[in-house]
Amino acid sequence: MADGMTSAPRPRTAGTGGQGWLQPLLPFLGLGAIAVCLPLVGDSYWSIIASRACIYWILVSGLNLVVGFGGQIAIGWVALLTLGAYTTSVLTAGTVTPAFSPYLALALSGVVGAIAGVIVGLPALRLRTFYFAMTTLGFATIVTQIALAWQSVTGGGVGVAGPVFPAPFDSSWGFYYFCLGLASICTWMTANIAASRFGRALVAIRDSEVAAEAAGISKPMLLVVVFLFSGAVAGIAGGLFASLQSYITPDAFTFDLSVLFFIAILIGGRGSIMGPLLGTILLTVLPEFAAPLVAWSTFLYAALLLVIVLVIPGGIAELLDFKNRRPLERHREIIPRPELLTDLLDANRKGTPLTLETITLSFGGVRAIDGLDLELRPGEVHGLIGPNGSGKTTTLNVISGYYAPDNGEVRLNGAVLAPKAPTTRAGHRIARTFQTPRLIGGASVLQNVMIGGSVDGHCTFAEAMLMLPRHLRDEATLRRSAMAALAIVGLDLLAAVRADRLQHSELRFMEIARALMLRPAFVLLDEPAAGLSAEEIRRLGALIVAITRTGTGVLLVEHHADLIFDICDRVTVLNLGKVLAAGTPAEIRSHREVVNAYLGA
């Protein structure tokens, strides 16, 4: 948009400091107040229903990290409830060992659940979507069959008595408060994880695994620790479930129960804590008002899910997200402020070149890159141009570690960068953007940019879960850096807006902000000007030049020849995977073969 075009003033958006920290807590505080006061208005029957809702939520709170945040289709999580129930019951009954106290048995059920959670979750590192779902269902079947066959311990089809907790938790309402307390702790811990770099990393893996890898996020390590936590709370939920049931048999752990847990998350909404919490309560209480329809529960769950998907795709969480239903200003300008780069990047950095040495890569019988030598120097813009299919993006993918070359090496600081290891590039301060913007749609603009700084976090998963001081320091530092990056690219007033509500041009600049979060030594830009107006391209060019003045090297793949020749220090032209020409922009403009093959008359 031209500078002369007027636009309405943009209001400062929520989430950047205007509405305070208390507002997100209000729904939880209100629900908690209702839960605490429930014994004043309900009888002992409702204490059982309320306790069951708390127990189910303890399990769903952990499963929500796996399904709602991580995007893994884990349908058979009832297996971990079964393991927790039998572990607690068997240990308190003393059928195998001397009788344990119910509290110690409950804690050990959490340990068993954690181990089982990792075991059942390991296939997710290699299997996706419904293939992983089938493995979780298979695990649930195995656990049930073991419970039936191991009669000397589990009682087989006859079952085993559940644990009885001592006073003050031996009464119906006393046990309810015990379950409510544990459910509250689980809510607090999962909310802490969701708001940490680990929660953002889970959403990044769910929505754009490629972008997550470029930010240095290791999917295997993250999923293992999440499965560990989710399995632990599921095991504890199983122990409480056994106490509530008084007597457990394999028949208590039905497929319908597993479906309930999964659907509670889906109708609650992905990437939300409050939504699945309300979904769990709804699915627990609803059958009490429709007792004659209990036999149709699976059908009713499926019908409810279908209605939610068709009418409210974002689930309950979308209904509660009033902020992102407000209309955005229609005529928005992107005005980068390159002068703010010194707030984020060190202008006195010294670096060494990034070199590609005789890179060769073939896909089947097609030679995508054929003997490419390339040197990217700190503080320079290096243009990489050529016709479609000439190997430009493939070159970026080799540097980024997504492809392993057949021959040749990528070197930085004298060391060879490991091929097929994209998560390691962030540690070497190599950032990149993509031809199609890789947004994390379920996250805000600010959270999208904070994902770019994941490798700079120092706190552990446990520190984030318990909101310890190092986690708070990490979050404050990442937030400041992300706001600085957004101010540099001119998007700071849209920090709290969901990224999937942005215009295409804004997504381009948001990706650059995310790349800047790495404080990169090198930035790989893949057609950043695609879809931008002439004025936005001019501003983009000024921003790229300003980035190189801080000592950062830029490799620019672009089809806008004017941008290439205006801002690049050197240009390499590819054709059919080979270097057609290399030199200064002036030399490339006058190169006869380049003019004939790419630039035209």
**Is the predicted pLDDT of residue 228 greater than 80, yes or no?**
yes
Report which residue type is found at 564.
I
* pLDDT value, residue 42: 73
* Stretch 526-551: mean pLDDT: 94
The fold of 338-599 is: Rossmann fold (3.40.50)
Position 530 confidence tier, pLDDT thresholds 50, 70, 90: very high
Taking the whole predicted model, whether its pTM rises above 0.75 is answered as: yes
Asked if residue 247 lies in contact with residue 160, where contact means CB atoms within 8 angstroms, the answer is yes
Q: How many Cα atoms within 13 Å fall on the side-chain side of residue 498?
A: 14
Task: Report pLDDT digits (tens) over 464-486.
Answer: 999 999 999 999 999 999 999 99
Q: Are residues 565 and 583 in contact, defined by beta-carbon separation less than 8 angstroms?
A: no
* Residue 535: per-residue pLDDT: 95
Q: Which amino acid is at 371?
A: G
Confidence label for 11 from pLDDT (cuts 50, 70 and 90): very low
Query: Which segments of 31-176 are extended strands (E)?
Result: 160-161
Provide the residue type at 462 as one letter.
A
Instruction: Give the percent of the chain with pLDDT over 90.
Output: 63
**Confidence band, pLDDT 50/70/90 cuts, at residue 329:** confident
Residue 292: predicted pLDDT? 63
What confidence score (pLDDT) does residue 597 get? 65
Q: Where are the domains of the chain?
A: 45-254, 338-599
Lowest average pLDDT, out of 59-68, 118-127, 170-179, 215-224, goes to: 118-127
**Distance between CA atoms of 559 and 530, rounded to whole angstroms?**
8
pLDDT for 76 beyond 90 = no
Tokens at 305, concatenated: 């899910």
Q: What is the 3-state secondary structure (H, E, C) of 217-248?
A: CCHHHHHHHHHHHHHHHHHHHHHHHHHHHCEE
Q: Which of 209, 234, 321 is nearest to 272 (CA)?
A: 321
- 416 beta partners: 411
pLDDT in tens, 360-416: 999 988 899 999 999 999 999 999 998 888 899 999 999 999 999 999 999 998 899
Cα–Cα dist 93/111, whole Å: 18
Helix (H, G, I), strand (E, B) or coil at 143: helix
Element holding 434 (H helix, E strand):
none
- Residue range 297-301: mean pLDDT, rounded: 70
435-459 burial, b at 16+ Cβ within 10 Å, e below that, comes to eebbbbbbbbbbbbbbbbbbbbbeb
Note the pLDDT tens digit of each residue in 555-594.
Answer: 999 989 889 999 999 999 998 889 989 999 999 988 888 8
